[in-house]
Every structure is written in structure tokens, then in C-alpha cells.
Chains A and B, each alone.
Chain A
Amino acid sequence: MSTDSYPEISFETRMSSVEFRVHERAHITVDSKICADCSTRGCITACPANLFVSTADGGILFNYELCFECGTCYMVCNEEGAISWSYPEGGHGVVFHSS
């Protein structure tokens, strides 16, 4: 859909416009064993930061570092206990400037 006059940016460029003050502790963890039984996998589609990726062995790979802390993933998750969600340590995580 993109045109020459307005090239669509890559996802990496999009995410590099956002400041994240990453803490060493993961504020969200995903139990890939539980995900292996999930057929819907709404998190992969819906996470605006695209942090959920299917793995070859049928699980889910998740990285917390570039997270918007929005709550989408746990809300669309069908598998109880698959996602443990909390906010990052104070002062860490996403920092918006012109939103």
C-alpha cells in the first residue's frame, strides 16, 4: 500500500522512535509450555510492540524490553497462567515524550 512519496517505515524504525528505560528484571513473563497448547495466539497478532513470536517447537518466545505496558497481551490471552503481568520497576519501562 505504501507509495514512493511516502515509504512505510520498518517496524524496527518505528520502535526505535520510542524510549525504553529497560530494567534488568522482566516485568512480564510467559510460560511457553502453556502457550504450546494454545491455538488462538492472539498475543502474536495484537501486541503493538510485536514482542510475541512463535518458536519452532510450538512455544512462544517473548522479550519484555520494548514493551508499551499496555495490557493487550494478558487481556487477549486465552490460557490461564500463560502470562504473568506486572508493571516495571518505578522509573523504568516505556517513556513517552510527544504522545
Chain B
Amino acid sequence: MKCLEEGSLIKRVNYKSTGAIKNRMEQQTHITLPKGSIEKTTTTLNIGPTHPATHGVFQNIMEVDGERVVSTEQTVGYIHRAFEKLAERRPLYQITPITDRLNYCSSPINNMGWHITCERFLKLDLPKRVDYLRVIIMELARISDHLICNSIVGVDTGAYTGFLYVMQYRELIYEIYEEVCGSRLTTNIGRIGGFERNFTNTAFTKLEKFLNEYPKVLKEFENLFARNRIFMERTKGTGGISAERAMNYGFTGPNLRAAGVDYDVRVQQPYSSYQDFDFKVPVGTTGDNYDRFLVRNAEMYESISIIKQAYQKIQEFKGTDAEVYHADVPEYYLPKKEDVYTKMEALIWHFKIIMGEIDLPKGQIYSAVEGGNGELGFYLISDGGRTPFRLHFRRPCFIYYQAFEELIKGGMLSDAVVTMSSLNLIAGELDA
């Protein structure tokens, strides 16, 4: 028997077999394992970048002791698209499609957040009807966002039915988007100053259908999970975080509210006339997966109530007020196509906007909206050019994902999967 080489840890067995197998065994004597890998009692497990248990592009390098998670390192950046650099060379209206691609489960909120940032920066006043129309779209987007998150938590705990059942109502929401802006997922909805077109009757009919049918479906969905023994055992007490730690980690949105902090941008810094609406801010206590589920669930009911109030307010507009869907800001709002062909002034504005010939004022602004996952902030710095000098997106996902290790440490591997989906991590928002 040949002497083992220094550093080779696999012992050669005197294998009584012939030919090919023996040759392969011979070759294996030269494999060198990393130092310490035999003595080690934990296993390194690589989950992702693509994995059925992660909904999106996430990589986690986990150390597991049996099924317990000892530590993990999250790797992000697989779909980084340099949005902040791109935005430095685009006029304001061309940045809207970029914001679609942040949290693509609720892109209308991102679009509106960006328009509101621009309007605050340019000091534009919007008619109330536009604000209310925006509120309808944003709350629909919030419902579709929470709907996906909660039903995916169901999928990861073994209940696929709820997911498929509520999906048809996300479809209905997307049909409303389609009616308003022509697209479904990456919506590019609205313009600086309002909407590009008025809501059609079909849009309102679909909205009424949604308001009539969805609450019942949501109740059924809730019944499927909220007091379900299996679901509760899987989610209660897993992935929990205290309010102090959650704040220190920069949590916002439903995840922070589940930990017991009633911070909601819609209440604290109202935008788009949210102060005109009456709604509750649901909070949890333990910040675990179950509380996150319940908070999102309760928020969907609040969103339905907000949409109803907004729809009622819209119906109260009479005469010409009932036709208003954008502010009168010719410097930023594209004129109608038929006017461009027939009127000199409209042609001039059209040309100036499209060529990006309108200089921005100097200054900086931080403006935030309540996105599906929390405070979606836009930090805009202008040096008086036609494009932002610097634009930074405060992406809630990116900030709270760093707490993932603390949330799952010491728990079971299968709970880590549920924790990941109940945080509602969206890869597009993580990587910008």
C-alpha cells in the first residue's frame, strides 16, 4: 500500500474490486479537503441564488447543525441594475419606468411615490380628484402586494389552495391597472401632475366588482389560515423580533408594525390627501411570522375601506370637476396628442418636455411614501440641470433584510424559509 500524501485526508481502502472502480478509488487519494472539514460538526448549506424555497434571487450560505440554523450570510446583488446611476442621465419623467422595477409586486406605489417626490420638489398643487384616484390605485397595489405575501407564506407552510384562490383577485386588480394605464406588472402609471388619461367607466365597473367580491374572498382566505392549527404552529414564535431591535435594524411598514410600533407614513407624513381618510393602523406585539401575517391581513381590510371612501368622494365631484385627472402644469405634463397637432403652444410644450429642455430648480428633497414593504424614500438632489444630480432610493427591503440572520438564528431551517417569505423580500427592491 502506497503511503498517503501529506494533507490528504481520505484514507485509501483496500477495495477488492477490479478495473474502473479501483482506478477511481486510486484517484481519490489525491483529493485534499479544506482544513478542519472533518472535525467540523456543522454543515454548510448553500440555498440559492435560485431555489424553490426562495421566491426571487437570493443566496444564503447557512451553517446548520442538524436542522438548526447556526449562522447565515445573505448575498444580494444578483439583479443589481444601477438605477441610481441611470437616473443621473434621465429627465424626471423617464425615471418613472425605473421605479416600476423596484418592488414589482406594487409598482404603482413606486410610480406615485416618485411623482409625489417630483411634485413636492417642483411645488405643484394637485386637484383633490387626482389625489383620490391615486389613493385608489395605491391601495389596490397595497392589497395586491400583501395578497401575494400572505398567500406565499401559506404556500411555504404547505397550503397551496389559498394562493391559487386569491390570485384571481390580483388578476382583477391588474385588469384595473390595465384599464387605467395599459399595462399590468411594470405599470409606469400616471404622470407628474396626474394621470395620463381619465379612469374609464370600465375601470370603475371593475373596481365596483372588486369591492363587492373581494371582502368575502379575503374573509375566506383569512379563515383558511388565521386559526388554522398547522399554520399557527408553523408561524407563531418563529422569526420574531422586538420593537427596539426592529427599529435599530431600520424596519418599516408591516414588519415594524407587527413588532408593535405604529409607524405608518400615510399617517405621520400624509401625502396624496391621506389625511382625508379614516383608517386604522393595525399593530402586532411579537413581530413574529404570525403577527406579520395578521398585520398584513388587517391592512388589506383597511385598504378596502380606504378605497370605498375614495370612490365615494370621487362620485361626489360634479360637472367639470368630475372630469379632472391632472393638474394644469404644462411644463411637466404632456399635452394631448390632438392639441400637439393643432395648437402652437401645445406643440412647444410637447417638444420641450420630450427633449428634456426644462431646467429643474436647485435644491434637495427627501420624500417618502408607504410602500408595500415600508417607507419607500426618494432622496433627490438637483444642481439646476435637467436631470437629478443624485437620486437615492431608500428601499425598505434592502434595509430590513440584514436582520434576517438575527431572525432565524437558533431556529429550524424550515422556519427560515417561512421567515423569508413573511418578510416579503422582493429582489427588485433589494438590489435597485
Note whether A and B form a binding pair: no
Interface set of B (CB-CB < 8 Å, partner A):
none
